[in-house]
Structure 1
């Protein structure tokens, strides 16, 4: 298997409740949990990071398409939120992400309105979230 990242993303957490340092190829940022669950809200929580990946990837994919087609659309806004429902009978959790896309004050035709849905679904993060994901954690570490 060929990895997408040159180096793994690394998280380091100390004793300060939930404050986590995330290290990536060019730097570091802080994540945390909201105060309502005893964090200090010093950075985005894991759900926010997941949705941030999706909206950033969607926006970039749409920007590539719009630039390629030489369309005059100066601004793209992508919003997403996540909800979960637990089946009371089976205990199974169903997750749903609602996503909206707008082009600021720019009027777009119906064809592009429909195409944005197809294009946004082709961003790599959308494909990962919709696909078959396996998470491996070797037990020999």
Structure 2
């Protein structure tokens, strides 16, 4: 059975830049020197007994360091990411200070086969990007969510 995750795409309307989305740069040594394709919406895996909407809200709070600033979530549907993972996402309008992001962490043996386990943030920084900027930075499997958001706002 494919792994499943749920996430939240927070957006805001900027007077000069248009629609902006809040995304996070994935933490850890693999992503450290990458930019294109190294950003993600806040999301996390869930099991069959968990409500995906609740998981999306929980993961947003864990990865961004504060609760989602909006209660009204609009479904964006499901996308398939590389490796077959399915991501169910919602959109919400709101604002948040991206520079104040403090993410939860994960453990990883680094360097490989060193026996040394280190902690890394799941999201090492967050930013508000225009939809066009986000297209080149998001992991490929999440890019369709941007088009769904624009269709929703049209």
The answer to whether TM tops 0.5 is: no
* Structure with greater contact order relative to length (CA < 8 Å, sep ≥ 6): 2
Q: Which has the higher strand share?
A: 2
Q: Which has the higher helix share?
A: 1
Please identify the structure whose Cα radius of gyration is greater. 1
